[in-house]
């Protein structure tokens, strides 16, 4: 009876596949009888895979674990983990059981916009396509139809509005805003910008691969306005470019940002929108 129980009470299977590969895995149960049934079925399925050239029966959970393992260095890993946690209805199901009707029904239950639902569809589609093309878990994957999304929101400021907003911000945040306006950098890139990323002589700011949306290192040209901001920041901190009035790295700007927007009467505007101005 090649099953054993761990300290947490869960039974584990320990078997060898027909080709001699050792497989140790959780049965997901604290019941010895159920664990033995799981073990026997797994062993039978492996035997059929070898002797009848059948595709291995792989659980959605197993495919997700492999997906995460192969992408543990990707920036999107946390987002993928969140999606897996929310797709609870797929747990315990084999990949071949995930048909279009079931998938679309579960995606429809997700709260949020059509864009949010499409992000989940894209994730499920990617895992299933990977299971077909690279992992050889499935012969085919269902074709999933995406939701129609609203037009992308694009917001910008007129030059006079931008000047008023910068003037209404605390000086240290105003400097960051001017820098974003002239470089197109995201808020997180500006908040975390270090002097070692700045080449004043070549007039370039360098972003590491883990700081960009594309995952590739990026050089950003610095115009005269951006350089002027940097020259004023020199000497305030040995590492961080932008600091608060206590000359400490800036962590959060949400409250003063919202207050400045209210003061100048600008609505529906985010820091990200500075990139469009």
| Rounded Cα gap, residues 145 and 79, in angstroms | 21
Q: Which residue range is the domain that position 20 belongs to?
A: 3-52
Q: Are residues 64 and 45 in the same domain?
A: no
Confidence of residue 24 (pLDDT cuts 50, 70, 90): confident
What's the structural domain count of the chain?
A: 3
Q: Does residue 98 form part of some domain?
A: yes
Is the residue at 145 inside a domain? Answer: no
Do both 48 and 82 map to the same domain? Answer: no
Domain contains 150: no
Q: In whole angstroms, what is the distance from residue 102 CA to residue 100 CA? A: 6
- 167 and 120 within one domain: no
Assigned domain for 144 exists: no
pLDDT at 1 over 60: no
Q: Which pair of structure tokens corresponds to residue 227? A: 């350089």
User: Is residue 265 located within the same domain as residue 179?
Assistant: yes
For residues 115 and 214, state if they share a domain.
no
Residue 256 lies in a domain: yes
Q: So what's the pLDDT on residue 51?
A: 61
Which pTM value belongs to this model? 0.52
Q: 22 has which bridge partners?
A: 16
Parallel, antiparallel, or unpaired for β 218-221 and 22-26? unpaired
Asked if residue 151 belongs to a domain, the reply is no
The verdict on 83 and 188 lying in the same domain is no
DSSP string, 180-242: HHHH---HHHHHT-BGGGEETTTTEEEE-GGGSTTSS-EEEE--HHHHHHHHHHTTS-SSBS-
The neighbour count for residue 229, using CB atoms within 10 Å, is 21
Do 165 and 261 reside in the same domain of the chain?
A: yes
Using the predicted structure, report yes or no on whether residue 25 has a pLDDT greater than 60.
yes
CA distances from 17 to 10, 65, 90 (A): 22, 20, 26
Question: Which domain CATH number covers 267?
Answer: 1.10.443.10
The predicted-structure confidence for 116-132, as pLDDT tens digits, reads as follows 999 999 999 999 999 99
């Amino acid at each position: 009876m090649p099953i054993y129980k761990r300290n947490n009470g869960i039974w584990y299977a320990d078997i060898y596949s027909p080709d001699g590969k050792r497989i140790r895995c959780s049965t997901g149960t604290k019941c010895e009888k159920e664990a033995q049934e799981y073990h026997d079925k797994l062993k039978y399925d492996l035997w059929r895979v070898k002797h009848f050239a059948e595709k291995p029966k792989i659980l959605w959970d197993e495919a997700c674990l492999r997906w995460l393992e192969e992408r543990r260095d990707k920036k999107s890993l946390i987002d993928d983990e969140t999606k897996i946690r929310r797709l609870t209805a797929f747990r315990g199901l084999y990949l071949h059981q995930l048909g279009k009707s079931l998938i679309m029904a579960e995606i429809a239950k997700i709260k949020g916009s059509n864009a949010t639902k499409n992000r989940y569809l894209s994730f499920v589609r990617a895992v299933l396509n990977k299971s077909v093309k690279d992992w050889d878990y499935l012969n085919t994957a269902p074709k999933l139809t995406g939701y129609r999304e609203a037009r992308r929101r694009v917001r910008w400021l007129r030059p006079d509005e931008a000047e008023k907003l910068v003037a209404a911000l605390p000086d240290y945040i105003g400097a960051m805003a001017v820098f974003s306006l002239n470089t197109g950098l995201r808020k997180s890139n500006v908040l975390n910008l270090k002097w070692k990323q700045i080449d004043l002589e070549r007039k370039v700011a360098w972003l590491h691969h883990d700081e960009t949306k594309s995952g590739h290192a990026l050089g950003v040209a610095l115009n005269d306005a951006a350089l002027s901001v940097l020259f004023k920041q020199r000497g305030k901190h040995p590492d961080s470019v932008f600091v608060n009035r206590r000359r400490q790295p800036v962590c959060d700007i949400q409250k003063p940002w919202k207050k400045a927007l209210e003061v100048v009467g600008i609505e529906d505007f985010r820091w990200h929108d500075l990139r469009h101005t």
